[in-house]
Chain A
Amino acid sequence: MRKNLLLLGAFIAAFHAPSVLAQAASPVELKGDVKLDKIVVQNGKEQHILSEPKIVVPGDRLIFSTAYHNNGAMVVKNFVVTNPIPEGVTLASDATGLLEVSVDGGKNWGRLALLTVPDGQGGTRPAQAADATHVRWTLASVAAGASGVLAYNAIVR
């Protein structure tokens, strides 16, 4: 798995010149991006058309991505990227399986299926995608020069 990551990281690195400014502040650079994900059916097959989110309305799918790039000369370890889920969107329910999420503002973490939230009547209920407040990724290490992209799908509330 790591080997794959590094391979793809190298692929991206070729097209992203390291930022000198960012390097001065931190060996790692983060760059966020968001795309509108329109699903169209062509010849009976669903296709995802990604575009700049020029027009966005409730119900639309967005893909939030964070590109990371280790510009430094040394390996970075315990690399944890945290994305608070913005107000106005909800985590897409079909994208939660492998994601590590929090439903309590970032205090506790886990897969959504294992988390619970208060049910408002003194008990708890299984967490839904709409309950997620944060999503995060943990990489044991990012080699010098390596890069990659972390993404999650959201739906405009």
Chain B
Amino acid sequence: MSKYAFIKHVRFFGLVATAIAAVHPASVIAAGVSAGTLIQSTATATYTAGTMNGSVQSNTLSVKVDELLDVAVSSLSGSTTTIGSNQVVLTYAVTNTGNGDEAFNIHVDPAVAGNQFDAVVQAIAIDSNGNNAYDAGVDLQLTNHNATPSIAPDGMVRIFVVVSLPASASDMQTSSVQLSAEAVTGSGSAGTAYAGQGTSSTDAVVGASGALAFANNDLLASLAVVTLTKSANIVDPFGGTQPVPGAIVTYIITAAVSGTGQAEGLQIADVIPTGTTYQNGTLKLEGASLSDASDSDAGNASASGVNVNLGTIAGGTNQTVKFDVKIN
């Protein structure tokens, strides 16, 4: 009965219920007032009664603000990260968009639907020194599915996920690595309450995010494939091409590097076949002579074999090595 009377009076002062309904605050400023804050209200009235001026106070109302469980996750690694034979660091931001100190369980999933390969997770770490770079041995390591330290309301932490390519990956394949963060207190549909489990002796309530959020970082495999082909030209002492004693055999070894990546530390080595003798000073790389000695140039040769260090060769490039032997 008293509620009915209350509503009638609210109407009377022009605050018609249907008019109030128009706007429901979907967004609040930042994370809002902190969990545990007391909202206290006391009304005062002044009046004249006969010749006397009087004043009176109401009781003081006190409402404690409970903890809102909310989180946001975003990708900080740009649109696509290229990954080759070296591991790469993917960066995510986890922001506590709730209003209380909260820790979040971090789940890293490299097996996202649609992946052409699943990256191998090498490490998960929080950027604990805040320098926006992964510092192995310095940044706090996290175990997958375990919690971050407590994050203050509106606080953001960067999380690094170090990944490498699986052996099965091939050039130009794509993949996503997902990081999700879930409030340790609990998650679920908005409005789910966890009585007494909020910070500062409050209840905790799941906010619009469901207290669970995720973001993906995308990977593009960039690999090189090296194909070696070896051929021989023979010039015999009689002007022909027969492999007879005294004939000179020129071996041609071509390293063809294909793919979008690069071949690193590429080295071509070959042994001098039994029954032949290396012809001094005939080692060539891309048509340019290399000295036989082990020195500043890329190659060396001896009676036992030849060796050429090509270093890093980009995909789409061929490198040809030649040397001569004489059939004994």
Interface residues of A (CB under 8 A from B): 4-5, 8, 11-12, 15, 22, 25-34, 37, 39, 46, 48, 50, 53-59, 61-66, 68, 72, 74-89, 92-95, 97-98, 137, 142, 148-153, 155-157
CB-CB < 8 A to A53: which residues of B?
Answer: 63
Tell me the minimal C-beta distance from B277 to chain A in angstroms: 87
CB-CB < 8 A to B22: which residues of A?
Answer: 94
Q: Is the CB of A65 within 8 A of B6?
A: yes
State the CA gap A150–B58 with chains docked (Å).
12
CB-CB < 8 A to A26: which residues of B?
Answer: 54-56
CB-CB < 8 A to B8: which residues of A?
Answer: 8, 11
CB-CB < 8 A to B68: which residues of A?
Answer: 57-59
Q: Is the CB of B41 within 8 A of A29?
A: no
Tell me the minimal C-beta distance from B264 to chain A in angstroms: 53
State the CA gap A95–B25 with chains docked (Å).
13
Indicate whether B33 reaches chain A with its CB closer than 8 angstroms: yes
CB-CB < 8 A to A50: which residues of B?
Answer: 3
Given that A62-B63, A95-B15, A95-B20 are contacting pairs, would A88 and B9 also be in contact in the complex, using a CB cutoff of 8 Å?
no
Tell me the minimal C-beta distance from A1 to chain B in angstroms: 9
State the CA gap A27–B55 with chains docked (Å).
10
Given that A62-B63, A84-B42 are contacting pairs, would A32 and B58 also be in contact in the complex, using a CB cutoff of 8 Å?
yes
Indicate whether B99 reaches chain A with its CB closer than 8 angstroms: yes
CB-CB < 8 A to B29: which residues of A?
Answer: 157
Tell me the minimal C-beta distance from B191 to chain A in angstroms: 9
CB-CB < 8 A to B32: which residues of A?
Answer: 57-59, 156-157
Q: Interface segment, B45-53, B88-96, B306-314?
A: B45-53
Tell me the minimal C-beta distance from A136 to chain B in angstroms: 9
Indicate whether B57 reaches chain A with its CB closer than 8 angstroms: yes
A-B contacts, 15 of them at CB < 8 A, read A5-B12, A8-B8, A12-B2, A28-B49, A30-B43, A30-B56, A32-B60, A55-B203, A57-B67, A80-B45, A82-B44, A86-B39, A89-B39, A95-B20, A149-B10
Indicate whether B317 reaches chain A with its CB closer than 8 angstroms: no
State the CA gap A77–B47 with chains docked (Å).
6
Tell me the minimal C-beta distance from B145 to chain A in angstroms: 27
State the CA gap A28–B52 with chains docked (Å).
13
State the CA gap A142–B22 with chains docked (Å).
33
State the CA gap A56–B35 with chains docked (Å).
9
State the CA gap A70–B82 with chains docked (Å).
77
User: Chain B interface residue count: which class?
Assistant: 35 or more
Residue of B nearest to A93 (CB): B23
Question: How many contacts A-B (CB < 8 Å)?
Answer: 187
State the CA gap A20–B179 with chains docked (Å).
64
State the CA gap A22–B31 with chains docked (Å).
41
Q: Is the CB of A29 within 8 A of B56?
A: yes
State the CA gap A55–B37 with chains docked (Å).
13
Q: Is the CB of A97 within 8 A of B12?
A: no
Q: Is the CB of A82 within 8 A of B49?
A: no
Q: Is the CB of B193 within 8 A of A76?
A: no
Tell me the minimal C-beta distance from B43 to chain A in angstroms: 4
Q: Is the CB of B61 within 8 A of A64?
A: yes
Given that A39-B24, A59-B25, A94-B20 are contacting pairs, would A148 and B54 also be in contact in the complex, using a CB cutoff of 8 Å?
no
Tell me the minimal C-beta distance from B94 to chain A in angstroms: 20
Tell me the minimal C-beta distance from B58 to chain A in angstroms: 4
CB-CB < 8 A to B327: which residues of A?
Answer: none
Q: Is the CB of B6 within 8 A of A149?
A: yes
Given that A46-B21, A57-B68, A82-B45 are contacting pairs, would A74 and B50 also be in contact in the complex, using a CB cutoff of 8 Å?
yes
Q: Is the CB of A149 within 8 A of B33?
A: no
Q: Is the CB of A56 within 8 A of B61?
A: no
Q: Is the CB of A64 within 8 A of B13?
A: no
Residue of A nearest to B24 (CB): A39
Q: Is the CB of A97 within 8 A of B25?
A: no
CB-CB < 8 A to B299: which residues of A?
Answer: none
Indicate whether B14 reaches chain A with its CB closer than 8 angstroms: yes
Given that A15-B1, A83-B41, A149-B5 are contacting pairs, would A8 and B12 also be in contact in the complex, using a CB cutoff of 8 Å?
yes
Residue of B nearest to A48 (CB): B17
Q: Is the CB of B13 within 8 A of A32?
A: no
Residue of A nearest to B1 (CB): A15
State the CA gap A11–B193 with chains docked (Å).
38
Given that A31-B59, A58-B31, A157-B29 are contacting pairs, would A68 and B45 also be in contact in the complex, using a CB cutoff of 8 Å?
yes
